[in-house]
Amino acid sequence: MAVRTSSAPVALPAQRDRSGTHHSRAWRVYRRLTPWLFLAPALLFFAVFKFWPSIWGIWLGLFHVQPYLGDQWVGLANFSKALGDPDLRAAVGHTVLDAAVQVAGSMLVGFLLALLLEGAARHVRILRTAVFLPAVTAMVAVAELWQTLLYPGRYGAVNSLLGDVGLGPLPFLSSPHSSLWTVMLVQVWKHAPYDMVIFIAGLVGIDRQLYESASIDGANAWQRLWNVTLPSLRPITTIVLILGMIRGLRVFTEIYVLTPGGGPGGSTESIVTYVVKNAVISNDAGYASAISALLLLTTIILTSATLWWRRRREDA
């Protein structure tokens, strides 16, 4: 009786090992590339509309831009001019003051709102949603609303109420002494709910056993806040601070709408409004690009310094 033998080749152990290694390597490459494939559209969007315009803007800062006549190379002359510009120094002062006050105010109000509105009860969620509405409203709409409320005559809602109690109409936005502070109040009203949501996320993440242990040790509410809540919120506070600094340094919309032209006597002129004025009105895009590049560098330095300070505090 004849015995049939199979003619199919038998894979040797070495061949099977090489095949398994090949598939394993291909799987690792696939796993590494998959996240980047999902990120590719967003990265392409940022590259086209953020990174490339930033690089091009820094490059324009080295030229005296002359549309249709050809750009003239001036090197660092625009940057030197910016460092010695008294109008820019005034705008920097307004911007720094605005950023400091509105960041501190929105963080403080946001933290207090987070303490009041933390919780899972239904009425708390509804109230929290209502409080958060200013944060999702367009700044142009917010500025137009407050400009109407703060109208300098008796037809403004706020001045009408003040007149009823005998305080008279106040020049909120029409006086060089009060216009910037009024803009800051509007900014705090707009941004505090946003900071509130971030602080609530941080409060939810704090271990409740820490509060129970502190209560057992006899700590009162203030001591629990100071020794448990605030130290646990340091990473969240750093995030809110960085976002606030970036937001404060590039303030534009509220100033442009509430106080067109930089306010009375230039009292609300910020860095970004000064950039727009040079680029659009003075038609000096090269100088405006140089100021923008310096603002970008300042923002990067401040953000890096804040992160470094936070890591140093954590390591200590």
> Six-digit token pair at 118?
């933390």
Number of domains, the chain: 1
* 91 pLDDT more than 60: yes
CATH number of domain containing 191: 1.10.3720.10
Can you give the residue range of the structural domain that contains 294? 77-315
**Is 297 part of a structural domain of the chain?**
yes
Instruction: State the DSSP H helix or E strand holding residue 64, giving kind and residue range, or none if neither.
Output: strand 63-64
Distance, in Å, from the CA atom of 151 to the CA atom of 74, rounded to the nearest integer, reads 46
Is 6 inside a domain boundary? no
302 lies in some domain? yes
Q: Taking the model in full, what pTM does it have? A: 0.81
The first and second tokens of residue 299, run together, are: 């923002």
Torsion from C-alpha of 87, 75, 279, 56, nearest 10 degrees: -130
The answer to whether residue 252 sits within a structural domain is: yes
Q: What is the pLDDT of residue 7?
A: 52
- Structural domain contains residue 288: yes
Q: Which of 179, 156, 180, 176 is nearest to 168 (CA)?
A: 156
Backbone Cα Rg of the chain: 29
pLDDT of residue 184: 94
Q: Is the pLDDT of residue 1 over 50?
A: no
Residues 6+ apart with CB under 8 A from 298: 249
pLDDT digit string, tens, across residues 131-162: 899 999 899 999 999 988 888 776 788 888 88
pLDDT of residue 295: 93
Contacts of 37 (CB under 8 A, 6+ apart): none
Asked if pLDDT for residue 122 goes beyond 50, the answer is yes
Confidence band of 121 (pLDDT split at 50, 70, 90)? low
pLDDT on residue 12: 47
13 within a domain of the structure (yes/no): no
Does residue 211 sit within a domain?
yes
DSSP 227: I
The answer to whether residue 309 is domain-embedded is yes
